[in-house]
Structure 1
Amino acid sequence: MDMPVNVPIDDPNADTEWNDILRKHGVIPEKPPSPTPIIQEAILEAQKRDYENRLEDKDLDELAALEEDEDEEFLEKYRQQRLAELSHLQKTSLHNQVYPLQKPDYSRDVTDASTQCFVLVNLTSSAGNNVESRVLSEIWRTLAAKYGDIKFCEMRADMCIEGYPDKNTPTILAYRDGDIRRQIVTLKELNGPRTSVRDLENVLISLGAIKENDSRLRQNPMPAKNFDSDEDFDDWD
């Protein structure tokens, strides 16, 4: 009866002549490929992508300032891309205001309108002492002026949904193509009463309402009213 032979192996992953013989005869498994080439390839690909997209967030003035440093044909490509983007925004910026809603017109002004663009509804507090609701109303006006291709609407929650709890306000409803794409109840999942324009812009990006490289993201709007005073927080539940 053949007895199994214990083959001495110091390090099965070592690159030695002895281990090569053992691998050849199937005594030890093949050494797994080194991850180094894969990592290096990923790094080179990321560097190449960063270089190719180095002009992605430049505006027309910044592109003009780079004329001596960049290839003219390459630069012209991005210049035309920016002009096309500006032209598109000009054609689609149809709103630029917050629309007050009435319940009988909700279907027309929101659900139906969302087949043409994103429609975001802010259901506000029926009382006047909800700090988060007041914060969002300020941000809503800033966003509406900045993103005219998105329709921003506002309505008292209890006028939209009878008996809607005031503690659930503000509530954001995001519509597209007749459906609710996202619902945010209060600003708790954002940054509470300290929610900023940028926080809501991140929501717009996640929805696909604006792109990550949208040039308008680089524009700094006037800061929304600060509701951080003790008097304001005393009223907030």
Structure 2
Amino acid sequence: MNMPDMPVNVPVDDPNADTEWNDILRKHGVIPEKPPSPTAELEEVLVQARALAHEHRLEGKDLDELAELEDDEDDDFLEHYRRKRLAEMSTIASSAIYNQVYPLQKPDYSREVTEASSKSYVVVLLTASLSSNAESRILEGLWKAMAEKFGDVKFCQIRADMCIEGYPEKNTPTILIYKDGDIKRQIVTLRELQGTKTSIRDLERVLVSVDAVKPNDLRLSKNPDENEWAQNAKDSADNEDDGSDWD
């Protein structure tokens, strides 16, 4: 008489343990195969990351930096990046059609800002009416530097109370970033940046955050010394008298 198949309770202390008993159970399908070691997976990911970083090690380097690597890198590899940089520089030059700060009048706002943002990013600075507003004075100087540096972005400026009736002085300076007719980001005063210590690098990060400038753009500041000329612009703005195009 054949006995019916009966379930067999197989003792398993730790199904993930490396034991001879567990190997037998895995062989017969009693317990599942042991999952791969997280450490091994992590090592594989790290190896791939290092290989990718090595492959793209010249990304972000300008022509001068590439020239310094002539003794350390393969000539063909360097030439590939030289051509890439020259192509990027050509694209930047051809798209740099603004390169200045555009003063706005309220009747022209829709055409010069909202409609113009269908072609490029438009960044508007609403300044204070009082010369005692230090943040506005600082940002006006930086605005000129940014406009010259990023000529494919249209930088505009208007006194806040001439643009929006009753706009609170305490909310100036205000930055409005437009693209395709919409406001992509609004910054009220410099509190969320660095206050009166706001630098050109802070403004660059804002442009990168809205995709107005790519993170690998060759024009982005690479070290603090590159802010010196922007600081000079700020100092110049602080020394100007109250008479300006925005009054």
CA distance in structure 2 between the aligned counterparts of 1:127 and 1:114, rounded to whole angstroms: 29
Unaligned runs of 5+ in 2: 1-5, 236-247
CA distance in structure 1 between the aligned counterparts of 2:96 and 2:212, rounded to whole angstroms: 13
2:204 is equivalent to residue 201 of structure 1? yes
Match of 1:150 in 2: 153
Kindly provide the amino acid, as one letter, of the partner of residue 166 in structure 1.
E
Q: Give the match's secondary structure for 2:80.
A: helix
Unaligned runs of 5+ in 1: 227-237
CA distance in structure 2 between the aligned counterparts of 1:29 and 1:61, rounded to whole angstroms: 58
CA distance in structure 2 between the aligned counterparts of 1:155 and 1:27, rounded to whole angstroms: 76
Q: Give the match's secondary structure for 1:204.
A: helix
Kindly provide the amino acid, as one letter, of the partner of residue 36 in structure 1.
T
Match of 1:235 in 2: none
Kindly provide the amino acid, as one letter, of the partner of residue 144 in structure 2.
R
2:98 is equivalent to residue 130 of structure 1? no
Structure 1 residue 84: Cα displacement: 0.9
Match of 1:63 in 2: 66
Q: Give the match's secondary structure for 1:13.
A: coil
Structure 1 residue 101: Cα displacement: 0.6
Q: Which aligned pairs between 1:59-138 and structure 2 lie closer than 5 A?
A: 59-138=62-141
Q: Is the 8 A contact 2:160 2:172 kept in 1?
A: yes
What's the TM-score, normalizing by structure 1?
Answer: 0.84
Which range is displaced more, 121-130 or 216-225? 216-225
CA distance in structure 1 between the aligned counterparts of 2:135 and 2:34, rounded to whole angstroms: 59
* Runs of 4+ with >4 A deviation: 21-30
CA distance in structure 2 between the aligned counterparts of 1:32 and 1:130, rounded to whole angstroms: 63
What's the TM-score, normalizing by structure 2?
Answer: 0.81
Kindly provide the amino acid, as one letter, of the partner of residue 83 in structure 2.
Q
Deviations 1:101-139 (A, max 9, x none): 100111111112112211100111122222222222121
Q: Is the 8 A contact 2:121 2:179 kept in 1?
A: yes
Structure 1 residue 193: Cα displacement: 2.1
CA distance in structure 2 between the aligned counterparts of 1:8 and 1:33, rounded to whole angstroms: 19
Kindly provide the amino acid, as one letter, of the partner of residue 217 in structure 1.
L
Structure 1 residue 52: Cα displacement: 1.4
Q: Which aligned pairs between 1:3-14 and structure 2 lie closer than 5 A?
A: 7=11, 9=13, 11-14=14-17
Residue in structure 1 matching 2:162, options 159, 163, 181 = 159
